[in-house]
Amino acid sequence: MMISRISVKSKKVWARTRNGCARFRSPVAIPRFILQMTALLLLVVAQVGFAQHDPGVRPGSPGAGGPLPGLTANELAMFREGIKRANQLESVCDTCSDVTPGGDNGQAPLLQTLTNSSGLGARFNADQCTLCHAQPAIGGSTAFVVPNPQDPPSRFRKPENPMFDLIPHRKGATNHVPSFLTQFGPVREVRFQRRPDGTPDGGVHQLFTIVGRSDTGSPGCNASLLPPIDFDGEFRRGNLSFRIPTPLFGLGLIDEIQDLEILAHHNATASQRAALGIQGVPNRSGNDGTITRFGWKAQNKSITMFAGEAYNVEMGVTNELFPQATDETPACNQGKSEPNDITRMDANDLRNQAFNNPLHEVADWLQFTLMMRFFDAPKPAPLSASATRGQQVFSTAGCALCHTPQMVTAPQSETDALAGKQVNLFSDLLVHHMGPGLADNVSQGVAQGDMFRSSPLWGVGQRIFFLHDGRTSDLLQAILAHASGGENDDENGGGNGFPPSEANAVIAKFKQLPGSDQQALLDFLRSL
């Protein structure tokens, strides 16, 4: 309920307050405007009492971005090296980086703005891992531009989307920025729902090309060879589906959860879920049948697969896991080895890294995997009285039936810091029907066009954008959007043949809660 929209009850409060002020008698004259302001203040207080709102990104320490406790000295060194690699800015050509590839050259503070790695694809979405994973710390979700100390203090007052200006125009590139990428909106990956012949697509289509860049190493690479895609036209035709980056914190812990642990939690809540129409099924690997768990639709089996795919799909960097380029236009790939980013043991091979350092023998994409493996989980803030109540509401309303608060990793691991650990992820790691309102019409494995993994909620207290496409920054709206396709849901009912959202009954319970309990739930989520 917005304060500007005065309810009938609030009008009565106003009338009583106004009349009370009018009847007030005092030997001291009270100016009329003070009486009016007092009445208005009481009205606002009355309205706020009925208004549930997202308290917003919680202040203070990120509580994320650090290494797991208990890592060995070598594991900690590999984690820190992974952070450096994730910060590296990719150039196109092996010989045209701003600084020696892989080295800091005494300019470590500036490496996030200088190309010091290579392999950027002819088509790409980003030229640096941390441009997509930076909120609230390196490894987070959809990112923003860090202010340059040399810029005026007022330049970046709000989180700024690096896809809006920085990435598409780096080094003289001439990319058009599609209308769905806004200055202060989320970083977005684009998938096409259908091919021109009407058959299902679902694949990522990179937004930018290297045309115009000063580091292509290929003067003949131009727009006729790499024609831009009409993303705005596809957007108007309703053919695009968006995804925002998922946070990387604690993924090594999730990687270590056994399938039997996931299924045990699922089976334990069968009767409760059945009463609310909640199903949930695992997405599975087509090769070994085990549960896949990473990505918006749990489409990736492991963080290793996630890393190799991200390097090739998002940055166009070919690697041992994805050795073929997404665009193989010869004139735009001159001077590149293929695959570009691999494990090398030759200390004299400087094509991509300075391999005189043992840490540099590991390929960038695999070092990215190790960084994710050793990231600690996000840490929650201390609970307020309202958040403590919200924790109870989270369970009684049914939210915990999909967002499982805790699981445990395997009892033994090659990484002792990951063995037998409690994982407070708030996800069952299964995929659920979410109805036509959230459907993106993209199928991956058993996850159909309206199915998504229960997103882990740890760290949600400091996220800026919500849902798979980043459509809102309001946590309350994100919760309400979980209801879709019900008989009484005129706004999102029906469409594309998708069944109703499995969350409909839970959201109905949420709407029936007292306002104080709704607010308590929001306060609890923002504490995570």
Q: Is the pLDDT of residue 482 over 60?
A: yes
Burial of 139 (0-12, 13-18, 19+ CB in 10 A): buried
In eight-state DSSP terms, residue 141 is: B
Q: Is the pLDDT of residue 354 over 70?
A: no
Distance from C-alpha of 32 to C-alpha of 176, rounded to nearest angstrom: 58
Confidence of residue 19 (pLDDT cuts 50, 70, 90): very low
Average pLDDT score over residue span 276-300: 96
Residue 349's pLDDT is 57
Q: What is the pTM of this model?
A: 0.85
Q: Is the pLDDT of residue 447 over 60?
A: yes
**Is residue 278 in a domain?**
yes
The parent domain of residue 438 ranges over 258-292+378-525
Query: How does the average pLDDT of the chain come out, rounded?
Result: 84
290-308 residue pLDDT tens: 999 999 999 999 999 999 9
Residue 9's pLDDT is 37
**Is residue 246 in a domain?**
no
Q: What are the distances in angstroms from CA 18 to CA 28, 36, 119, 475?
A: 18, 8, 71, 36
Q: Is the pLDDT of residue 102 over 70?
A: no
Residue 351's pLDDT is 52
Asked if 324 and 318 touch (Cβ cutoff 8 Å), the reply is yes
Number of domains in the chain: 2
Residue 95's pLDDT is 80
**Is residue 32 in a domain?**
yes
Residue 218's pLDDT is 73
Tokens (6 digits) for 186 = 């989320």
CATH for 398: 1.10.760
**Is residue 158 in a domain?**
no
**Is residue 414 in a domain?**
yes
Average pLDDT score over residue span 382-405: 97
Residue 348's pLDDT is 59
pLDDT: which is higher, 78 or 356:
78
User: Which H helix or E strand runs over 451?
Assistant: strand 451-453
**Is residue 321 in a domain?**
no
Of 355, 349, 345, which Cα lies nearest the Cα of 337?
349
Q: Which of 83-97, 120-134, 135-149, 420-434 has the lowest mean pLDDT?
A: 135-149
Distance from C-alpha of 477 to C-alpha of 221, rounded to nearest angstrom: 45
Average pLDDT score over residue span 126-135: 91
Residue 342's pLDDT is 86
Residue 191's beta-bridge partner residues?
204, 241
Average pLDDT score over residue span 85-89: 89
Confidence of residue 350 (pLDDT cuts 50, 70, 90): low
Dihedral class, residue 435 (left if φ above 0, else alpha if ψ from -120 to 50, else beta):
left
Q: Is the pLDDT of residue 368 over 60?
A: yes
382-391 residue pLDDT tens: 999 999 999 9
Residue 160's pLDDT is 82
**Is residue 216 in a domain?**
no
pLDDT: which is higher, 432 or 108:
432
Confidence of residue 50 (pLDDT cuts 50, 70, 90): very low
**Is residue 225 in a domain?**
no
178-190 residue pLDDT tens: 999 999 899 999 9
Per DSSP, which regions of 151-225 are E strands?
189-192, 208-209
Q: Which of 114-118, 211-215, 355-359, 405-409 has the lowest mean pLDDT?
A: 355-359
Residue 208's pLDDT is 97
Of 57, 218, 214, 235, which Cα lies nearest the Cα of 140?
57
pLDDT: which is higher, 117 or 384:
384
DSSP characters over 310-370: HHHHHH---BSSS-S-S---GGGSTT--SS-B-----TT--SSS-TTSGGGGS-HHHHHHH
Q: Is the pLDDT of residue 343 over 90?
A: no
318-330 residue pLDDT tens: 999 999 999 999 8
Asked if 120 and 92 touch (Cβ cutoff 8 Å), the reply is yes
Dmax (CA) for the chain in angstroms is: 95
Cα–chain center distance at 479: 16
Distance from C-alpha of 143 to C-alpha of 314, rounded to nearest angstrom: 14
